[in-house]
């Protein structure tokens, strides 16, 4: 029970705090990540200042922040699966891997699709981590859609262009959600 509590803690932390903490952890001069990799014999890396590693670092922080949410959805889906199907599979002589491939995964597909839909929406709204960690840089290496939208609206004062971008993003997200949810209906439909 304690491991579940520890595992879901990152989702309770606001994105602005997550960005600030990871900016300190990934700092080139005194960051804990470089100190730990230094103990393993590696040279320090500029995780947030180099084009090769900046986007990967931001993606890692975002995955770290939102994995507990996916964990909760998957856990709820797993705990809601009927146990009689597993008993029937054991009686039929199914191995653990066969149970996973032919029982658990097919019954979890609707939950997987809903989790994917939620994660898709949260991926489009990533802003605070990018703003705090890299400010969109180095150059434009970590400029995601929401950060570009922010730049157009507030930094460049191009409100018309920013409004057109936001409507296009909303339209794109809606199309993607319709596709994901229609795939979910096909997956969960009885055969």
Nearest 10 degrees: CA dihedral of 66, 110, 124, 19?
0
Residue 189 confidence (pLDDT): 61
Domain count, the chain: 1
Place of tokens 């952890």: 25
> Helix/strand/coil (H, E, C) string of the chain?
CHHHHHHHHHHHCCHHHHHHHHHHHCCCCCCHHHHHHHHCCCCCCCCCCCHHHHHHHHHHHHHHHHHHHHHHHHHHHHHCCCHHHHHHHHHCCCCHHHHHHHHHHHHHHHHHHHHHHHHHHHHHCCCHHHHHHCCCCCCCCCCCHHHHHHHHHHHCCCHHHHHHHHHHHHHHHHHHHHHHHHHHHHHHCCC
Contact call for residues 172 and 120 (beta carbons, < 8 A): no
Residues 6+ apart with CB under 8 A from 31: 24, 25, 47
The per-residue pLDDT for range 96-108, each reduced to its tens digit, is 999 999 999 999 9
Percentage of the chain with pLDDT > 90? 74
Residues 6+ apart with CB under 8 A from 124: 145, 146, 169, 173
CA distance 1 to 16: 28
Q: Any idea what the CATH number is for the domain that residue 12 is in?
A: 1.10.3720.10
CA distance 170 to 167: 5
The per-residue pLDDT for range 43-98, each reduced to its tens digit, is 999 999 999 999 999 999 999 999 999 999 999 999 999 999 999 999 999 999 99
Mean pLDDT, the chain, integer: 90
Residue 182 confidence (pLDDT): 87
Domain extent for 181 = 2-188
């Amino acid at each position: 029970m304690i491991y579940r509590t520890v595992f879901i803690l990152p989702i309770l932390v606001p994105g602005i705090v997550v960005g600030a903490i990871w900016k300190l952890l990934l700092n080139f001069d005194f960051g804990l990540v470089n100190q730990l990799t230094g103990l393993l014999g590696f040279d320090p890396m500029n995780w947030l200042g180099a084009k090769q590693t900046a986007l990967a670092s931001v993606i890692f922080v975002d995955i770290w922040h939102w994995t507990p949410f996916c964990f909760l959805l998957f856990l709820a889906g797993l705990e809601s699966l009927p146990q009689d199907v597993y008993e029937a599979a054991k009686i039929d002589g199914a191995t653990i891997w066969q149970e996973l491939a032919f029982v658990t995964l097919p019954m979890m597909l609707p939950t997987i699709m809903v989790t994917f839909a939620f994660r898709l929406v949260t991926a489009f709204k990533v802003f605070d981590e990018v703003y705090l960690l890299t400010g969109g840089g180095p150059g434009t290496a970590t400029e995601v859609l929401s950060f570009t939208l922010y730049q157009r609206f507030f930094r460049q004062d191009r409100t018309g262009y920013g409004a057109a971008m936001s409507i296009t993003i909303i339209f794109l997200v809606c199309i993607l959600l319709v596709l994901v949810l229609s795939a979910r209906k096909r997956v969960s439909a009885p055969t």
